[in-house]
Chains A and B, each alone.
Chain A
């Protein structure tokens, strides 16, 4: 177990290095003169030069990367061009935590709804309940979350007045974004749970349990569910990524001041260091969550041999 954990940790390092390389190179993907693009056409030459100097664009590429990484290791994500203030302060003051909250609540909702629906569907296979759940899941999977958000605002905030349409803080602001963001994940988890349950239920040991006369309820919840959850856990980890990405859209729709909205505002203001920093932080969150999922997965399923 310890060896697995260490090995898994070591495997993460090249991925993290790769992520920093891609995020670093983004600045060089800007067509033409990056400094000019950031400050906008028609800016005075001295200002462009100033930006170029500030971003270190005059140095050779390897030197730039080296400086970038050594700054990162000191917890320095660079300065915002717009506000001239350290980006790390802005991110970790509140934005990061808001996005974490949004993502965690949505994951909980997705897992709860998805697993429940998936079990119902599998246990009642080919009944109207199953077909109904699968049709709803197909919709959930196919709906753009920004549109779902707009519709929820329209009906539940504007028409019925049950919730507030924007912001983040108390429950009346939290429910709609969480539902918006959690729906897609719930659909995917429901489908995964269903197919995994069906596969487990058809196995010999379940048939044996049935033949022994074990009650159906116990078969489902004690024997089948435990094994059916194994692939579902991996999906939950991966879905967390989709969810973080989706947070960009959800936060924009609901005017939630998290990381997602920060990156969009930064793109609009051509504040490129902020774009880089936010993308980096969100990717590292995803890598970390998957690391934790993998390790806990291994911990709960000691009999699985990974290599």
Chain B
């Protein structure tokens, strides 16, 4: 076969490169990009921290509560945290525009705190995390999630038992 034919065909077809950054680049829907965090859904189970190979996710205890910290520049976009998160607290967006000035590097992080509260059942100091949805059937309603959030682990168990389901 004569390569000239292909050569001419490619010439007629024109360039297949994208004029980025002067025009937007094609991004598929499933593109695994910047991690997003939804504090309201986080159960504080720390599964994401345990599966994160480079250690981009860290939890630490502060006087105010349990702090979730995630460094964008350490992340390798593997998607393990999203896969093993029992809720939709962690998700990967299709945003890959992560270039930034060196001066902004300490801002390339998510820092959010699951606060301590007093349990509405017994008054004990507890974390206002979302309840673990695994094995709960029928699933929690939004009202139940809010009710559970304000309870300590023991009171949560009691409330679940009253609900008539073993989690």
Are A and B co-members of a single complex?
no
Residues of A within 8 A of B (CB): none
